[in-house]
Amino acid sequence: MDQKTFVAITNKYFKRFSFTEIELDFNPQTNPSLIVVIPAYNEENISQTINSLFFNQNEFSFEVEIIVLVNNSIDEEVSIVKTNKETMEFLDDFAVKNNTDKISLYSYYVKDLNPKHAGVGWARKIGMDLALKRFNKLDYNGIIVGLDADATVCGNYFNGIHNFFENSDFSAASIHFEHPISGNDYSELQYLYIQLYELHLRYYKNALSFTGFPYAFHTVGSSFAVKALAYARQGGMNRRKAGEDFYFINKLIKGEDFGEILDANVYPSPRVSNRVPFGTGRAILEAFNKDKNLFLTYDFKIFIELKKWVDKIKKQDFRYSNFPELIKSIFSEDDWLETHNEILCNSASQSSYLKRFFAKYDAFWTLKFVHFCRDNLYENSSLEKNVNSLLKEINIDSRNSIKDNLLLFRDIDTKKGAKAP
């Protein structure tokens, strides 16, 4: 694609989707191939994240920029504003002392967000839009990376991400992640909770893969990367207060060549948090408060039934009467025929039919389906039992503990990889 096309598409994006008037008020001397975007709100120890990016990286031959978007609403609590100001002071001082021609840190403080929209989604969007503006000025289809302010990264982080895109046609990807599951920073109980939570995430992803659904990817805001052109083409990050990563990455999976980066690693924090209504921090908080039982997960029977339906669709058996009863409880025959005929009329081949089918029944639909089944048919049951059931179906021996099964799933994920259709 020529540069005029890239600039035209990104300019069109800014006219349609940009919600901020923030401009690039610096004149960087670098020409980055990769820009890492970090939203920061009430962060007391962002230094760990910045240090891992600056001082823990293997030698790399390209240029990198880090954009940190410190943010709060216009009516924020005084204590949080104080912490944010201290974060900015740290970031400004760090940049003066450590910026080089190869890696540079730039920080912004947005302190007047509308309380209606203020949150990680809007902050992440502002930061990623700034990265897109940077690449627009450079006429370069670079890489925009999402990271969180409480995460650290491995030494191969920059190289792993850069080489993935440099040596493939992918335009977006998830990045392998591993929560800390032992150590001295948290209690044994908290480490157990994060083991359970991450095992649940990996169980769900691999159960989806088992069914034959092609969109079996992790959707974690601290662990994804996208080419600038793809970011603009898909309408950019949304302003949701929570779940912004799930919705945006779901768009990328359906609309772009999406894969998995397996030779880079992000280490998200297992800390307790009440900032958003779901996600890692909220799950750990609810576990401590006895509001959530992390020893339970989605019943594997749901995925068995889902697989039966997907298998029939892939074999071109579109007869409603042959669908599993569980599927027929979700929509009527008339609803199915209307959807099927619409997809069929716009498909020139079986592969194009399947692509349209899975665009309709995507990761968002699948999650709603699983939640419907959980709430109405198969209530959550033993995580250990369901993990063992999945492993048995894919012919892998289970391990004897939560931690060992988690390590097993990490190994499965890093060896298998995935690619959207």
pLDDT tens across 179-194, in order?
A: 999 999 999 999 999 9
What is the predicted pLDDT for the residue at 420?
Answer: 46
For residue 292, is it within any domain?
no
Treating both helix axes as pointing N-terminal to C-terminal, what angle do 280-288 and 188-211 enclose, rounded to 10 degrees?
130
| Averaged pLDDT, 278-304 | 92
pLDDT > 60? residue 317: yes
Other Cβ atoms closer than 10 A to 14 = 14
What is the predicted pLDDT for the residue at 21?
Answer: 57
Confidence of residue 115 (pLDDT cuts 50, 70, 90): confident
What is the predicted pLDDT for the residue at 227?
Answer: 98
What is the predicted pLDDT for the residue at 29?
Answer: 65
Regarding whether 315 and 246 lie in a shared domain, the answer is no
Confidence of residue 245 (pLDDT cuts 50, 70, 90): confident
For residue 45, is it within any domain?
yes
Tell me the whole-structure pTM to 2 decimals.
0.93
Regarding whether 98 and 57 lie in a shared domain, the answer is yes
| Averaged pLDDT, 6-12 | 93
Range name among 17-21, 155-159, 337-341 with the lowest pLDDT average: 17-21
For residue 295, is it within any domain?
no
For residue 370, is it within any domain?
yes
What is the predicted pLDDT for the residue at 120?
Answer: 79
Round to whole Å and give the CA distance between 148 and 335.
41
Determine what percent of the chain is predicted with pLDDT higher than 70.
93
Q: Domain containing 28 — which CATH number?
A: 3.90.550.10
For residue 287, is it within any domain?
no
The alpha carbon dihedral of 20, 171, 255, 297 has a sign of negative
Regarding whether 386 and 345 lie in a shared domain, the answer is yes
Report which residue type is found at 197: Y
Which residue matches tokens 């939570």? 197
Q: Which residues of 368-388 are buried (b: 16+ CB within 10 A; e: fewer)?
A: ebbeebbeeebeebebbebbb
| Averaged pLDDT, 88-99 | 97
Regarding whether 146 and 65 lie in a shared domain, the answer is yes
Q: Which residues pair with 35 in a beta bridge?
A: 65, 144
Closest CA to 174 of 112, 297, 266: 266
pLDDT > 80? residue 30: no
Regarding whether 356 and 268 lie in a shared domain, the answer is no
Regarding whether 231 and 338 lie in a shared domain, the answer is no
Confidence of residue 87 (pLDDT cuts 50, 70, 90): very high
| Averaged pLDDT, 102-116 | 87
pLDDT digits (tens, 9 = 90+) for 267-289: 999 888 766 666 788 889 999 99
Number of residues in the chain = 421
Chain centroid to Cα 302, Å, comes to 24
pLDDT > 60? residue 241: no
Contact 354, 314 (CB under 8 A): yes
Q: E-assigned strands of 5-123?
A: 34-40, 64-73, 103-113
Q: How far is CA 237 from CA 35, 71, 224, 359, in A?
A: 15, 16, 12, 19
Round to whole Å and give the CA distance between 6 and 135.
10
Range name among 94-108, 143-157, 170-184, 277-291 with the lowest pLDDT average: 277-291
Regarding whether 248 and 358 lie in a shared domain, the answer is no
pLDDT digits (tens, 9 = 90+) for 352-365: 999 999 999 999 89
Regarding whether 169 and 41 lie in a shared domain, the answer is yes
pLDDT digits (tens, 9 = 90+) for 200-223: 999 999 999 999 998 899 988 789
| Averaged pLDDT, 126-149 | 94
- 361 phi/psi in degrees, rounded to 5: -100, 75
Work out the mean pLDDT of the chain and round it to a whole number: 91
* Domains in the chain, number: 2
Non-local CB neighbours of 187 within 8 Å, separated by 6+ positions: none
pLDDT > 80? residue 417: no
For residue 190, is it within any domain?
yes
- 340 phi/psi in degrees, rounded to 5: -60, -45
Regarding whether 158 and 220 lie in a shared domain, the answer is yes
What is the predicted pLDDT for the residue at 421?
Answer: 46
For residue 321, is it within any domain?
yes
Identify the domain containing residue 391 by its residue range.
300-416
Regarding whether 273 and 308 lie in a shared domain, the answer is no
Regarding whether 106 and 251 lie in a shared domain, the answer is yes
Regarding whether 251 and 362 lie in a shared domain, the answer is no
